[in-house]
Amino acid sequence: MSETFSGVYRVAFGEKHNNLFRPGPSAPMNACVGTNGGPANFSRYASGYFEAGAILVRNLAGSSRDIDILIYPLVFLYRHAIEASLKHLGSRIK
């Protein structure tokens, strides 16, 4: 389906992809970002960070075995969610 030329993948309609950002073997795991995935704005970023934190909390509630090492990424996720939310609010009140 794809041909490789020096790390660049050519797919349908002549689109180019590099080795990192290219179509993967599992279509449901391919995320849509930018204009094809909806508006890329701080509200959307905040929602993603909050949801990722909530998923991690739910998983830790099922098994808190790794809580001592996962607390750092969890706090990082919520910190970024709050920061993106504040940036979104700031852009709305200008």
pLDDT, tens digit, for every residue of 5-32? 444 444 445 566 666 667 777 777 777 7
C-alpha distances in angstroms, 9 versus 25, 34, 64, 75? 14, 20, 42, 37
Please give the pLDDT value at position 15. Answer: 60
Query: Could you state, in order of their start, the residue ranges of all structural domains in the chain?
Result: 1-30, 42-92
Report pTM. Answer: 0.68
Distance CA 23, CA 76 (A): 29
**What residue ranges in 1-94 does DSSP mark as E strands?**
3-5, 8-10, 16-17
pLDDT exceeds cutoff 60 at 75: yes
